[in-house]
Amino acid sequence: MTVESTAARKPRRSGAKRSTTTRDTKKQPAGQTELVQLLTPEGERVEHPEYAIDPTPEELRGLYRDMVLTRRFDAEATTLQRQGELGLWASLLGQEAAQIGSGRALNDADYVFPTYREHGVAWCRGVDPTNLLGMFRGVNHGGWDPNSNNFHLYTIVIGSQTLHATGYAMGVAKDGADAAVLAYFGDGASSQGDVAESFTFSAVYNAPVVFFCQNNQWAISEPTEKQTRVPLYQRAQGFGFPGVRVDGNDVLACLAVTKAALERARTGQGPMLIEAFTYRMGAHTTSDDPTRYRSPEERELWETKDPILRLRTLLTREGLADDAYFAELERESDALAKRVRDAVRAMPDPEDMAMFEHIYADGHALVDEERAQFAEYQASFVTAEEGI
């Protein structure tokens, strides 16, 4: 399976040439917004004075591969949810460039604080995709060790993690470490007080944190206009640090801008806000029904800006990847999907007594008491059954 995966297949044929000017200017008042773009929807490289980048063919193929595998994994997870293997899934479909571009900008020593949708960033960090599924299956609330890959657990309460990221970055600065922190949040999250407080703290302490806002145009059913009346990247300036809007469907631009911002942070120049202008192609989660609040036309429009397709166009046109490469990647995608599917199906439910574990690091008398009572209660059934 290639780019044309289940979830994204249908409307791509609608053609890559449709003009998007009217729509975009609706969202971006003229003159106010400059969108950093290095690769057009038509797959053309463009120059940007501030954010130059010159990836090798190998690197380009790597970014492409990351995006394809991420999308494939995501589609598989959606399928697994439909099959009842997961209780819920929050798809990243459409946001692959924003996530892979920013994720591949990271150094090993950097630290990431995701929302609940950064499956592509997790992939870049080397978190096993299967581990992401535990919480969506309902077997845990977060199935990986954040310190193994410098990738924090998913945070569901909107905006909270931006403060954790800021505090972590304050610690990085205290340690004098050569590292930065990357904090993800959404357009909806921009309204939360915690996000504003994280801007204040990071500015005052000049913390090495980069705020990466994926403006995917929607917070469940609410368009970005319900959160702000000016472009979100502008929010940063009033807190005393720069903000920039990048084409969130352009993996090269996301990579270049994030790399620059992280380097800025690592070299003591403080926080920066990146607004990745992108689109949530799927439902908010598998529980959501976007037909209730947005038009198919809008989605079709964004299909024409697909992040994967444009890089494929470039790779093909420039002769950087051939059919064999794409076929091999398809095989790899299928293998990944199968591995994930098998792993999820094999994922055992937690033991009942796990309820009483890890509530405290140093123990707690009440937990001990309740654990003992529950064990006794359960034993009473065994006894009763045995009694029969």
Partner 1 sequence: MAAEKMSLSKAINASLRTALETDPKVLIMGEDVGKLGGVFRVTDGLQKDFGEDRVIDTPLAESGIVGTAIGLALRGYRPVVEIQFDGFVFPAYDQIVTQLAKMHARSLGKVKLPVVVRIPYGGGIGAVEHHSESPEALFAHVAGLKVVSPANASDAYWMLQQAIDSDDPVIYFEPKRRYHDKSEVDTAAIPGPLHAARVVRPGTDLTLAAYGPMVKVALDAAAAAAEEGKSIEVMDLRSMSPIDFDTIQRSVERTGRLVVVHEAPVFLGTGSEIAARVTERCFYHLQAPVLRVGGFHSPYPPSRLEDEYLPGLDRVLDAVDRALAY
Ligand X SMILES: Cc1ncc(C[n+]2csc(CCOP(=O)(O)OP(=O)(O)O)c2C)c(N)n1
Helices (H), 39-156: 57-82, 96-103, 119-125, 129-137, 146-149
Token pair of 153 as six digits: 């657990």
**Which of Mg ion, ligand X, a second copy, none does residue 166 bind to, with CB < 5 to 8 Å depending on kind?**
none
CB of 208 to partner 1, least distance (A): 12
Active-site residue, from 72, 137, 266, 284: 284
CB of 249 to ligand X, least distance (A): 15
Residue nearest to ligand X (CB): 186
CB of 28 to ligand X, least distance (A): 17
Count of CB atoms within 10 A of residue 349's CB?
A: 9
Instruction: Work out whether 158 is an interface residue with ligand X (CB under 6 A).
Output: yes
Instruction: Work out whether 110 is an interface residue with Mg ion (CB under 5 A).
Output: no
| DSSP annotation string for 313-355 | HHHHHTTSS-HHHHHHHHHHHHHHHHHHHHHHHHPPPPPGGGG
Active-site residue, from 235, 280, 299, 312: 280
By the 10 Å C-beta count (0-12 exposed, 13-18 middle, 19+ buried), 227 is classed as middle
Q: Please identify which residue in 137, 284, 305, 312 interacts with ligand X, judged by CB under 6 A.
A: 284
Instruction: Work out whether 282 is an interface residue with ligand X (CB under 6 A).
Output: no
Q: Is residue 152 a contact partner of residue 111, using CB atoms and an 8 Å limit?
A: yes
Residue 337 neighbours by CB under 8 Å, 6+ apart:
1, 72, 73, 75, 76
Q: Which residues bind a second copy (CB under 8 A)?
A: 190-197, 200, 203-204, 206, 225-230, 234-240, 243
**Which of Mg ion, partner 1, a second copy, none does residue 171 bind to, with CB < 5 to 8 Å depending on kind?**
partner 1
Q: Is residue 48 a contact partner of residue 253, using CB atoms and an 8 Å limit?
A: yes
CB of 44 to ligand X, least distance (A): 29
Instruction: Work out whether 186 is an interface residue with Mg ion (CB under 5 A).
Output: yes
| 293 catalytic residue (yes or no) | yes
How many Cα atoms are found within 13 Å in the side-chain-facing hemisphere of 108?
1
Spatial distance between the Cα atoms of 118 and 151, rounded to a whole number of angstroms = 10
- Residue showing tokens 């609608």: 14
Q: Please identify which residue in 188, 208, 243, 270 interacts with ligand X, judged by CB under 6 A.
A: 188
**Which one of the spans 15-23, 102-110, 132-140, 154-162 is the region binding ligand X (CB under 6 A)?**
154-162
Q: Please identify which residue in 150, 216, 304, 333 interacts with ligand X, judged by CB under 6 A.
A: 216
Spatial distance between the Cα atoms of 69 and 175, rounded to a whole number of angstroms = 36
CB of 48 to partner 1, least distance (A): 31
Token pair of 81 as six digits: 């949810």
Spatial distance between the Cα atoms of 40 and 63, rounded to a whole number of angstroms = 16
Spatial distance between the Cα atoms of 305 and 281, rounded to a whole number of angstroms = 11
Instruction: Work out whether 189 is an interface residue with ligand X (CB under 6 A).
Output: yes
Residue 192 vs residues 44, 124, 155, 189, 254: alpha-carbon distances, Å: 37, 27, 14, 5, 24
Q: Please identify which residue in 186, 208, 243, 290 interacts with ligand X, judged by CB under 6 A.
A: 186
CB of 217 to ligand X, least distance (A): 8
Residue nearest to Mg ion (CB): 186
C-alpha closest to that of 236 among 216, 212, 266, 262: 212
**Which of partner 1, ligand X, Mg ion, none does residue 11 bind to, with CB < 5 to 8 Å depending on kind?**
none
Q: x/- binding map, residues 189-218, to Mg ion, per CB under 5 A?
A: ---------------------------x--
CA angle 257, 126, 64 (to 5 degrees): 55
| 364 catalytic residue (yes or no) | no
How many Cα atoms are found within 13 Å in the side-chain-facing hemisphere of 214?
34
Q: Which is nearer to partner 1, 51 or 151 (by Cβ)?
A: 151
Q: Which is nearer to Mg ion, 51 or 184 (by Cβ)?
A: 184
| 64 catalytic residue (yes or no) | no
Active-site residue, from 9, 293, 331, 364: 293
Tell me the catalytic residues: 280, 284, 293
Residues that bind ligand X (CB under 6 A): 115, 117, 156-158, 186-189, 216, 218-220, 280, 284
Residues that bind Mg ion (CB under 5 A): 186-187, 216, 219
